[in-house]
Amino acid sequence: MSRPTDTIAALATPVGTSAIAVVRVSGPDCAALAKALFGRAPLPPRTARHTDYRNLAGAVLDDVLATFYQAPRSYTGEDSLEIALHGNPFIAQSILNDLLARGIRLAEAGEFSRRAFLSGKLDLSQAEAVMDLIHARSERALAAANQQLRGSLGRHLGELTDGLLLVLARIEAYIDFPDEDLPAEDRQIVVTELDRVLHGTARLLATHHYGELLRDGIKTVIIGEPNAGKSSLLNRLVGRDRALVSPEPGTTRDFIEERIILGPHCLRLIDTAGLNPTPAALEKLGIDKTFERAAEADLFLWVLDATHPTPPLPDSIAARLTPENTLILLNKSDLRPSGVAGVADPGSG
């Protein structure tokens, strides 16, 4: 059974072959462990030592860089030890096995950050920001995660909490001392502070969707009639042949998703089945998925075939298109015969 006083260890870098890997240890036994592993004198805090790692049998597992962090000046706020080793998964696992043999417990998922929270090194919003920072896919997402990690969201939430506590104190005073002649301005303070908290909360909630876009990417759905060139566009944007391309219409039967970085943004490109008004049974299944993806889209890339007039979009998709969320791309313009109408307005049926 896990206990918060256990000394824990885990691989702090992704599993796989690499130049280096890092094993992190945290808990009350770190100082004694560092002395037992790495020799006569204790490791000076925050100083890396190049040394051999020997297991309990005395065999050298690797030459490593060991760094000891003394509480509270560590990520978790506890005594901590970081061991940088060669990035061979077998070496990393051998060192972890040796640590377990010495009585160290394998850390649970997120346990280092949980200990950082419990020791006051991070608040909950900062603990979430650690994960956002690790998984950031764009400049904007990275900047937002760094800002949150530095306490911007926590400070904002703290201001809202302080406002609610002020209101609570005034209300409790009225309840506890109903016969007292409390200042009339106290009532105005309650109204003003509640209004400030409500507006602040509304502004914070309004950023939720933007935060999802930063974390997950802008859901960009490529739509158009069959054989308009949607899959060719996806392949060009991705930089490789991700989708099957054929002159035969109806080649794409299911949606294909890929992420790309465009400037500071991450786009989740979704290639969909062509919107054929008279599809075959199998093709209709793909078109049904197109409707599903379109209902969730943040951005549309509407690919038009310049060689013939543009057919109307289905009403449910046309209703979602606006000038702000739609980019119209005229494909095959080099093959366009004279007199063929060009681009329709977003949202036109």
Question: What is the per-residue pLDDT across 183-203, written as a single tens digit (0 to 9) for each?
Answer: 777 778 888 999 999 999 999
Residues 166 and 171: their CA atoms lie apart, in Å, by 9
CATH of the domain at 161: 1.20.120.430
For residue 133, tell me if it sits in a domain: yes
- Looking at the fold, whether 61 and 108 belong to one and the same domain comes out as yes
Do 143 and 172 lie in a common domain? yes
Chain mean pLDDT for the chain: 86
Q: Is 106 in the same domain as 45?
A: yes
Q: What is the edge-to-edge ordering of all strands in the sheet holding 105-106?
A: 48-54, 60-69, 80-87, 18-26, 8-11, 105-106
Q: Is residue 345 part of a domain?
A: no
pLDDT digits (tens, 9 = 90+) for 203-256: 988 888 888 888 889 999 999 888 888 888 888 888 887 766 655 555 555 678
More confident residue, 133 or 96: 96
Domain boundary among 82, 103, 121: 121
Last residue of a domain, one of 121, 140, 168: 121
Q: Please check whether residues 300 and 226 belong to one and the same domain.
A: yes
Position 279 scores a pLDDT of: 67
Give the global pTM: 0.65
Residue 179 has pLDDT above 80, yes or no: no
* CATH code for the domain of 36: 3.30.1360.120
Per residue in 303-332, pLDDT tens?
998 888 888 888 889 999 999 999 999 988
Do 234 and 323 lie in one domain? The reply is yes
- Give dist(CA 197, CA 69) in Å, integer: 40
| Total tally of structural domains belonging to the chain | 3
| Residue ending a domain, choose from 75, 106, 121 | 121
Give residue for tokens 């824990």: 8
**Diameter over CA atoms, the chain:** 88
CA geometry: angle 198, 200, 205, nearest 5 deg? 95
Mind listing the pLDDT tens digit for each residue in 42-84? 788 999 999 999 999 999 999 999 999 999 999 999 999 999 9
| Position 347 in a domain | no
Q: For residues 159 and 68, state if they share a domain.
A: no
Alpha carbon distances (Å) from 46 to 31, 38, 51, 66, 156: 12, 15, 15, 10, 33
Domain that holds residue 54: 8-121
